[in-house]
Structure 1
Amino acid sequence: METTQTSIGHTLEIACDESGWEGSNLTAGNSDVIAHASVRLDINVASECIRALRGRSRQHSYEYKASHLLRTKSGSDLAGFLGPSGPVHGRAMVHLTHKSCFVLGRVLDLFIGGSADAASLGLRPDQRLANLAATLCRAGPDTFGREPWQAFLTATNVVLRADRHRRVRAPVDAFFGQVEALRALAGGRQVGRILDELRDGRREAYAARARLLEDRALQPVLEPLLPALARAVLHWSGGLHPVAVVHDEQSALTERRMRRLEQILAAPPLEMIRLPAQGRFIRFRQADSRTDPRVQVADVLAGVARKIVTDDLLGRSDPGLTALLRPYVDPASRWCEQLADPSGRTAG
Structure 2
Amino acid sequence: MTGACGAAQDRCVEVACDESGSDGENLTGGNTDVFAHASVTLPVEGAEECVAEIRRRIRSPAEEYKANHLLREKHRAVLEWLLDEGGPVLGHARVHLTEKAFFVVDRVVDLLLGDAAQARTLFVQGPGTFGEREWREFLEVSNRLLRVRSVGEPPADSFARTVERLGRAHAGTEAGRTLLRLSGAGPRAQAYRARLSQEPPLIPVLNPLLPAIVRTAGYWSAGGCAVCLVHDRQNMLTPERIAWIEERARQEGTGLAGVRLVHSRLDARVQIADFLAGIARRIASDELGGRGDPALTARLRPFVGAESVWGDAHSWARLVPGAENRGRAVPVNSGV
- Distance in 2, matches of 1:253 and 1:296, equals 18
Asked if 1:337 is matched to 2:316, the reply is no
Q: 1:105 to 1:183 in 2, by over 3 A?
A: same
Shift of 1:172: 1.4
Kept in 2, the 8 Å contact 1:255–1:284? The answer is: no
Structure 1 residues 207-233: Cα deviation after superposition (integer angstroms, max 9, x where no partner)? 344456667432221111011000111
Partner residue of 1:158 out of 144, 151, 157 = 144
TM-score by length of 1: 0.82
SS in structure 2 at match of 1:134:
helix
Q: 1:73 to 1:52 in 2, by over 3 A?
A: same
Kept in 2, the 8 Å contact 1:135–1:191? The answer is: no
SS in structure 2 at match of 1:17:
strand
* 1:1-348 equivalent positions in 2, closer than 5 A: 9-73=10-74, 75-113=76-114, 127-136=116-125, 139-140=126-127, 143-163=129-149, 170-186=154-170, 188-210=172-194, 216-238=200-222, 240-267=224-251, 270=252, 272-273=253-254, 281-338=256-313, 339-340=316-317, 341=320, 344-346=323-325, 348=327
SS in structure 2 at match of 1:73:
helix
Higher helix share: 2
- Distance in 2, matches of 1:194 and 1:313, equals 25
- Distance in 2, matches of 1:293 and 1:247, equals 12
- Distance in 1, matches of 2:250 and 2:267, equals 30
TM-score by length of 2: 0.85
Kept in 1, the 8 Å contact 2:167–2:178? The answer is: no
SS in structure 2 at match of 1:290:
helix
Structure 1 residues 234-278: Cα deviation after superposition (integer angstroms, max 9, x where no partner)? 1112284332222112211211111112222323xx4x236xxxx
Kept in 1, the 8 Å contact 2:8–2:257? The answer is: no
Kept in 2, the 8 Å contact 1:38–1:93? The answer is: yes
Shift of 1:185: 4.6
- Distance in 2, matches of 1:282 and 1:158, equals 36
Q: 1:266 to 1:212 in 2, by over 3 A?
A: farther
Structure 1 residues 1-53: Cα deviation after superposition (integer angstroms, max 9, x where no partner)? xxxxx966312111111110021121211111111101111111111111111
Corresponding letter in the other structure for 1:105:
D
What's the RMSD between the two structures over aligned residues?
A: 2.7
Shift of 1:324: 1.6
SS in structure 2 at match of 1:9:
helix
Structure 1 residues 44-102: Cα deviation after superposition (integer angstroms, max 9, x where no partner)? 11111111112222223111111111114253332221121111101111011111110
- Distance in 1, matches of 2:98 and 2:40, equals 18
Corresponding letter in the other structure for 1:103:
V
SS in structure 1 at match of 2:201:
coil
Kept in 2, the 8 Å contact 1:21–1:34? The answer is: yes
Kept in 2, the 8 Å contact 1:83–1:89? The answer is: yes
Kept in 2, the 8 Å contact 1:212–1:221? The answer is: no
Kept in 1, the 8 Å contact 2:168–2:180? The answer is: no
- Distance in 2, matches of 1:210 and 1:37, equals 35
- Distance in 2, matches of 1:295 and 1:313, equals 26
Corresponding letter in the other structure for 2:146:
L
Q: 1:200 to 1:255 in 2, by over 3 A?
A: same
Structure 1 residues 172-211: Cα deviation after superposition (integer angstroms, max 9, x where no partner)? 1211111123225536344223323322323333334445
Corresponding letter in the other structure for 2:254:
I
SS in structure 1 at match of 2:74:
coil
Q: 1:21 to 1:42 in 2, by over 3 A?
A: same
Residue in structure 1 matched with residue 331 of structure 2 by the alignment: none
Sequence identity of aligned pairs in percent?
Answer: 44
Corresponding letter in the other structure for 1:273:
T
- Distance in 2, matches of 1:31 and 1:89, equals 26
